[in-house]
Protein backbone atom coordinates (compact mmCIF):
# COMPACT_ATOMS: atom_id res chain seq x y z
CA UNK A 1 0.00 0.00 0.00
CA UNK A 2 2.91 2.32 0.71
CA UNK A 3 6.60 1.97 -0.03
CA UNK A 4 8.09 5.37 0.67
CA UNK A 5 9.20 7.23 3.78
CA UNK A 6 6.96 10.23 3.01
CA UNK A 7 4.01 8.10 4.11
CA UNK A 8 2.50 9.39 7.37
CA UNK A 9 2.48 5.84 8.76
CA UNK A 10 6.14 5.07 8.01
CA UNK A 11 8.28 4.16 11.01
CA UNK A 12 11.86 3.04 11.60
CA UNK A 13 12.83 0.64 14.39
CA UNK A 14 16.56 1.36 14.14
CA UNK A 15 16.47 3.36 17.39
CA UNK A 16 15.34 0.27 19.34
CA UNK A 17 17.98 -1.97 17.82
CA UNK A 18 15.92 -3.53 15.03
CA UNK A 19 17.37 -2.75 11.59
CA UNK A 20 14.11 -2.45 9.68
CA UNK A 21 11.47 0.07 8.72
CA UNK A 22 8.24 0.24 6.82
CA UNK A 23 4.67 1.54 6.55
CA UNK A 24 2.12 0.30 9.06
CA UNK A 25 -0.69 0.53 6.53
CA UNK A 26 0.83 -2.58 5.02
CA UNK A 27 2.32 -4.22 8.09
CA UNK A 28 3.40 -7.58 6.64
CA UNK A 29 7.02 -6.55 7.23
CA UNK A 30 6.36 -6.44 10.99
CA UNK A 31 5.41 -10.14 11.12
CA UNK A 32 8.72 -11.04 9.45
CA UNK A 33 10.81 -9.55 12.28
CA UNK A 34 12.59 -12.21 14.34
CA UNK A 35 13.55 -11.16 17.87
CA UNK A 36 16.27 -12.90 19.85
CA UNK A 37 15.38 -13.96 23.38
CA UNK A 38 18.01 -14.03 26.11
CA UNK A 39 15.81 -14.25 29.22
CA UNK A 40 17.64 -15.62 32.29
CA UNK A 41 16.00 -15.39 35.70
CA UNK A 42 14.95 -11.79 36.35
CA UNK A 43 16.84 -10.59 33.28
CA UNK A 44 14.65 -10.00 30.24
CA UNK A 45 17.77 -9.19 28.25
CA UNK A 46 21.25 -10.22 29.39
CA UNK A 47 23.80 -9.51 26.69
CA UNK A 48 27.34 -8.12 27.01
CA UNK A 49 26.25 -4.74 25.60
CA UNK A 50 22.62 -4.58 26.78
CA UNK A 51 20.78 -5.64 29.93
CA UNK A 52 17.17 -5.33 31.07
CA UNK A 53 16.56 -6.40 34.67
CA UNK A 54 13.03 -6.75 36.06
CA UNK A 55 12.65 -5.10 39.47
CA UNK A 56 8.94 -5.38 40.25
CA UNK A 57 5.48 -5.79 38.76
CA UNK A 58 3.59 -2.54 39.32
CA UNK A 59 0.29 -2.94 37.45
CA UNK A 60 -1.72 -5.79 35.97
CA UNK A 61 -4.72 -5.62 33.68
CA UNK A 62 -6.88 -8.12 31.86
CA UNK A 63 -4.51 -8.39 28.91
CA UNK A 64 -1.07 -7.42 30.17
CA UNK A 65 1.30 -6.45 32.94
CA UNK A 66 3.52 -3.39 33.49
CA UNK A 67 6.86 -4.05 35.18
CA UNK A 68 9.47 -1.68 36.53
CA UNK A 69 12.90 -2.56 35.16
CA UNK A 70 16.45 -1.23 34.88
CA UNK A 71 17.76 -0.82 31.35
CA UNK A 72 21.54 -0.74 30.86
CA UNK A 73 23.49 -0.01 27.69
CA UNK A 74 27.23 0.08 28.34
CA UNK A 75 27.78 2.01 31.57
CA UNK A 76 24.50 3.94 31.36
CA UNK A 77 21.49 2.79 33.41
CA UNK A 78 17.93 4.07 33.69
CA UNK A 79 14.61 2.88 35.04
CA UNK A 80 12.00 1.96 32.42
CA UNK A 81 8.57 0.39 32.20
CA UNK A 82 8.12 -2.96 30.48
CA UNK A 83 4.79 -4.00 28.99
CA UNK A 84 4.38 -7.75 28.66
CA UNK A 85 1.30 -9.80 27.75
CA UNK A 86 -0.27 -12.17 30.24
CA UNK A 87 -0.67 -14.85 27.59
CA UNK A 88 1.71 -15.84 24.82
CA UNK A 89 1.05 -12.82 22.64
CA UNK A 90 3.02 -10.54 20.35
CA UNK A 91 3.06 -6.83 21.27
CA UNK A 92 5.34 -5.87 18.39
CA UNK A 93 2.60 -4.17 16.37
CA UNK A 94 1.37 -2.29 19.45
CA UNK A 95 4.94 -1.09 20.06
CA UNK A 96 5.05 0.13 16.45
CA UNK A 97 1.77 2.03 16.86
CA UNK A 98 3.04 3.62 20.09
CA UNK A 99 6.27 4.68 18.37
CA UNK A 100 4.37 6.08 15.38
CA UNK A 101 2.08 8.09 17.68
CA UNK A 102 4.95 9.39 19.82
CA UNK A 103 7.10 10.40 16.86
CA UNK A 104 4.20 12.14 15.13
CA UNK A 105 2.90 14.00 18.21
CA UNK A 106 6.40 15.43 18.75
CA UNK A 107 6.02 17.31 15.48
CA UNK A 108 2.96 19.22 16.76
CA UNK A 109 4.34 20.26 20.15
CA UNK A 110 3.80 17.16 22.33
CA UNK A 111 7.36 15.90 22.97
CA UNK A 112 6.06 13.19 25.32
CA UNK A 113 2.75 12.51 23.59
CA UNK A 114 3.49 8.79 23.95
CA UNK A 115 6.29 7.12 25.96
CA UNK A 116 9.41 6.64 23.80
CA UNK A 117 10.41 3.02 23.17
CA UNK A 118 13.84 1.82 24.27
CA UNK A 119 13.68 -1.88 23.37
CA UNK A 120 11.50 -4.60 21.86
CA UNK A 121 12.32 -8.18 22.87
CA UNK A 122 11.00 -11.74 23.09
CA UNK A 123 10.61 -13.96 26.13
CA UNK A 124 11.45 -17.65 26.29
CA UNK A 125 7.77 -18.58 25.82
CA UNK A 126 7.58 -16.62 22.56
CA UNK A 127 5.79 -13.56 23.95
CA UNK A 128 6.98 -10.25 22.52
CA UNK A 129 7.26 -7.33 24.98
CA UNK A 130 8.59 -3.80 24.86
CA UNK A 131 10.32 -1.39 27.23
CA UNK A 132 9.58 2.33 27.29
CA UNK A 133 10.89 5.41 29.01
CA UNK A 134 9.33 6.53 32.27
CA UNK A 135 7.79 10.01 32.31
CA UNK A 136 9.32 11.69 35.40
CA UNK A 137 6.72 12.92 37.88
CA UNK A 138 3.76 11.61 35.88
CA UNK A 139 0.66 9.96 37.29
CA UNK A 140 -2.50 8.82 35.55
CA UNK A 141 -5.07 11.52 34.88
CA UNK A 142 -7.81 9.80 36.90
CA UNK A 143 -5.59 9.65 40.01
CA UNK A 144 -4.55 13.27 39.51
CA UNK A 145 -8.13 14.53 39.20
CA UNK A 146 -9.21 12.56 42.27
CA UNK A 147 -7.21 14.97 44.45
CA UNK A 148 -8.38 18.19 42.77
CA UNK A 149 -10.84 20.45 44.60
CA UNK A 150 -14.06 21.43 42.75
CA UNK A 151 -13.06 25.12 42.68
CA UNK A 152 -10.00 24.24 40.53
CA UNK A 153 -11.53 21.49 38.41
CA UNK A 154 -12.96 23.52 35.50
CA UNK A 155 -9.68 25.22 34.62
CA UNK A 156 -7.77 21.93 34.64
CA UNK A 157 -10.41 20.11 32.59
CA UNK A 158 -10.53 22.86 29.95
CA UNK A 159 -6.72 22.87 29.69
CA UNK A 160 -6.64 19.08 29.28
CA UNK A 161 -9.57 18.99 26.85
CA UNK A 162 -7.95 21.51 24.51
CA UNK A 163 -4.71 19.53 24.46
CA UNK A 164 -6.59 16.26 23.95
CA UNK A 165 -8.55 17.78 21.07
CA UNK A 166 -5.27 18.72 19.38
CA UNK A 167 -3.75 15.28 19.96
CA UNK A 168 -6.79 13.26 18.88
CA UNK A 169 -7.51 15.50 15.90
CA UNK A 170 -3.95 14.94 14.68
CA UNK A 171 -4.13 11.18 15.19
CA UNK A 172 -7.47 10.92 13.38
CA UNK A 173 -7.03 13.25 10.42
CA UNK A 174 -3.25 13.02 9.85
CA UNK A 175 -2.36 9.45 10.86
CA UNK A 176 -5.75 7.75 10.54
CA UNK A 177 -5.46 6.31 14.06
CA UNK A 178 -8.13 5.81 16.70
CA UNK A 179 -6.86 4.77 20.14
CA UNK A 180 -10.27 3.14 20.92
CA UNK A 181 -9.64 3.00 24.67
CA UNK A 182 -9.21 6.66 25.53
CA UNK A 183 -9.99 7.05 29.22
CA UNK A 184 -8.51 9.09 32.08
CA UNK A 185 -6.46 6.11 33.30
CA UNK A 186 -4.82 5.84 29.86
CA UNK A 187 -3.33 9.34 30.07
CA UNK A 188 -0.41 10.45 32.18
CA UNK A 189 -0.26 14.04 33.37
CA UNK A 190 2.67 16.13 34.61
CA UNK A 191 2.29 19.56 36.21
CA UNK A 192 4.86 22.25 35.38
CA UNK A 193 5.32 26.00 35.28
CA UNK A 194 2.86 27.84 32.99
CA UNK A 195 3.97 27.82 29.37
CA UNK A 196 2.50 28.84 26.04
CA UNK A 197 1.35 25.98 23.82
CA UNK A 198 0.27 26.30 20.22
CA UNK A 199 -2.51 23.87 19.39
CA UNK A 200 -3.96 23.02 15.99
CA UNK A 201 -7.47 21.59 16.18
CA UNK A 202 -9.04 20.66 12.85
CA UNK A 203 -7.04 23.37 11.10
CA UNK A 204 -7.67 26.08 13.73
CA UNK A 205 -4.60 27.41 15.54
CA UNK A 206 -5.02 28.56 19.15
CA UNK A 207 -2.49 29.45 21.84
CA UNK A 208 -3.14 28.51 25.45
CA UNK A 209 -1.19 29.02 28.66
CA UNK A 210 -0.94 25.53 30.13
CA UNK A 211 0.34 24.12 33.39
CA UNK A 212 0.09 20.48 32.30
CA UNK A 213 1.55 18.03 29.80
CA UNK A 214 -0.23 14.87 28.74
CA UNK A 215 1.08 11.50 27.62
CA UNK A 216 -1.08 8.88 25.93
CA UNK A 217 -0.51 5.23 26.94
CA UNK A 218 -1.83 1.70 26.24
CA UNK A 219 -2.40 1.26 22.51
CA UNK A 220 -3.60 -2.35 22.73
CA UNK A 221 -7.02 -1.48 21.25
CA UNK A 222 -5.79 0.93 18.58
CA UNK A 223 -6.66 0.78 14.89
CA UNK A 224 -5.14 2.36 11.80
CA UNK A 225 -7.34 3.04 8.80
CA UNK A 226 -7.88 4.85 5.53
CA UNK A 227 -11.30 6.38 5.01
CA UNK A 228 -13.83 3.90 6.36
CA UNK A 229 -11.43 0.98 5.93
CA UNK A 230 -9.48 -0.53 8.82
CA UNK A 231 -5.97 -1.54 7.77
CA UNK A 232 -4.67 -2.58 11.20
CA UNK A 233 -6.76 -3.41 14.29
CA UNK A 234 -4.92 -4.47 17.45
CA UNK A 235 -7.89 -5.87 19.35
CA UNK A 236 -10.69 -8.27 18.57
CA UNK A 237 -12.87 -6.77 21.32
CA UNK A 238 -14.59 -4.52 18.78
CA UNK A 239 -16.52 -6.28 15.97
CA UNK A 240 -14.85 -6.68 12.55
CA UNK A 241 -17.49 -4.36 11.00
CA UNK A 242 -16.41 -1.54 13.32
CA UNK A 243 -14.65 0.99 11.10
CA UNK A 244 -11.54 2.71 12.40
CA UNK A 245 -12.05 6.34 11.45
CA UNK A 246 -15.10 7.37 13.43
CA UNK A 247 -15.18 11.14 13.84
CA UNK A 248 -15.18 11.99 17.55
CA UNK A 249 -15.12 8.35 18.74
CA UNK A 250 -12.08 8.64 21.03
CA UNK A 251 -13.23 11.92 22.53
CA UNK A 252 -16.75 10.53 23.07
CA UNK A 253 -15.38 7.65 25.13
CA UNK A 254 -13.02 9.90 27.09
CA UNK A 255 -15.72 12.48 27.87
CA UNK A 256 -18.17 9.82 28.99
CA UNK A 257 -15.74 8.02 31.28
CA UNK A 258 -14.50 11.34 32.66
CA UNK A 259 -18.07 12.55 33.30
CA UNK A 260 -18.89 9.37 35.22
CA UNK A 261 -16.03 10.07 37.61
CA UNK A 262 -16.03 13.84 38.14
CA UNK A 263 -19.43 15.29 37.14
CA UNK A 264 -20.11 16.28 40.75
CA UNK A 265 -17.00 18.50 40.73
CA UNK A 266 -17.83 20.36 37.50
CA UNK A 267 -19.48 23.76 37.36
CA UNK A 268 -23.07 23.83 36.00
CA UNK A 269 -21.93 25.49 32.76
CA UNK A 270 -19.26 22.88 32.03
CA UNK A 271 -21.65 20.11 33.05
CA UNK A 272 -24.12 21.33 30.43
CA UNK A 273 -21.39 21.20 27.78
CA UNK A 274 -20.55 17.60 28.69
CA UNK A 275 -24.23 16.71 28.41
CA UNK A 276 -24.43 18.31 24.97
CA UNK A 277 -21.30 16.48 23.77
CA UNK A 278 -22.41 13.09 25.08
CA UNK A 279 -26.21 13.12 25.46
CA UNK A 280 -28.44 14.55 28.18
CA UNK A 281 -30.35 11.31 28.75
CA UNK A 282 -27.20 9.20 28.70
CA UNK A 283 -25.56 11.52 31.23
CA UNK A 284 -28.59 11.20 33.52
CA UNK A 285 -28.29 7.41 33.27
CA UNK A 286 -24.55 7.59 33.95
CA UNK A 287 -25.10 9.55 37.15
CA UNK A 288 -27.45 6.82 38.43
CA UNK A 289 -25.54 3.70 37.35
CA UNK A 290 -21.80 4.22 36.97
CA UNK A 291 -20.66 0.64 36.31
CA UNK A 292 -23.31 -0.33 33.74
CA UNK A 293 -23.06 2.98 31.92
CA UNK A 294 -19.33 2.43 31.37
CA UNK A 295 -20.11 -0.77 29.45
CA UNK A 296 -22.75 1.15 27.50
CA UNK A 297 -20.17 3.77 26.46
CA UNK A 298 -17.88 1.09 25.03
CA UNK A 299 -20.83 -0.46 23.20
CA UNK A 300 -21.74 2.89 21.67
CA UNK A 301 -18.13 3.57 20.64
CA UNK A 302 -17.93 0.24 18.84
CA UNK A 303 -21.39 0.34 17.24
CA UNK A 304 -20.76 -0.14 13.52
CA UNK A 305 -23.86 1.91 12.61
CA UNK A 306 -22.34 5.05 14.21
CA UNK A 307 -19.52 6.71 12.25
CA UNK A 308 -19.75 10.25 13.67
CA UNK A 309 -20.19 11.47 17.23
CA UNK A 310 -21.21 14.93 18.40
CA UNK A 311 -17.99 15.18 20.41
CA UNK A 312 -15.55 15.90 17.59
CA UNK A 313 -12.60 18.19 18.47
CA UNK A 314 -13.74 21.17 16.36
CA UNK A 315 -17.09 21.35 18.16
CA UNK A 316 -15.46 21.03 21.58
CA UNK A 317 -13.04 23.83 20.70
CA UNK A 318 -15.91 26.07 19.56
CA UNK A 319 -17.96 25.36 22.70
CA UNK A 320 -15.03 25.94 25.07
CA UNK A 321 -14.14 29.22 23.35
CA UNK A 322 -17.76 30.35 23.75
CA UNK A 323 -17.66 29.34 27.42
How confident is the prediction for the chain on average, in pLDDT? 91
Q: Which letter does DSSP use for residue 103 in this model?
A: H
Q: According to the model, what pLDDT value does residue 267 have?
A: 96
- Chain-centroid distance of CA 273 in Å reads 24
The average pLDDT across 286-298 equals 87
Residue 206 has pLDDT above 60, yes or no: yes
The average pLDDT across 32-36 equals 85
| Close Cβ partners of 169 (under 8 Å, ≥ 6 residues apart) | 200, 201, 202, 313, 314
Q: According to the model, what pLDDT value does residue 42 have?
A: 85
Residue 17 has pLDDT above 80, yes or no: yes
230: three-class secondary structure by DSSP: strand
In order of start, what are the domains of the chain with their CATH numbers? Answer: 10-133 (3.30.200.20), 139-322 (1.10.510)
- pLDDT over 90 percentage in the chain: 67
- Chain-centroid distance of CA 38 in Å reads 29
CA torsion angle 149 154 156 161 (round to 10): 140
- Give the confidence band of 314 by pLDDT, cuts at 50, 70, 90: very high
Residue 200 has pLDDT above 70, yes or no: yes
CA distance 227 to 210: 33
Burial (CB count within 10 angstroms: exposed 0-12, middle 13-18, buried 19+), residue 165: buried
- Give the confidence band of 163 by pLDDT, cuts at 50, 70, 90: very high
pTM of the predicted model, to two decimals? 0.93
Residue 279 has pLDDT above 60, yes or no: yes
Amino acid sequence: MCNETRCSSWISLHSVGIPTEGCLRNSAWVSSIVLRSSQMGHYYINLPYQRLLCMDSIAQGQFGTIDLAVYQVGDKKKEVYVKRPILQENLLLEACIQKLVGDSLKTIGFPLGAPPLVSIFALENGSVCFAMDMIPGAITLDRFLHGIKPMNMDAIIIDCLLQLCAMLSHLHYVLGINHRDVKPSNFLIVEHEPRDKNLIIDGTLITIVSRYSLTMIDFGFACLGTGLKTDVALSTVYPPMDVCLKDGRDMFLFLGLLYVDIHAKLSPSLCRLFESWIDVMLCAFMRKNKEYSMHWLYFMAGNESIVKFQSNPSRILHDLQAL
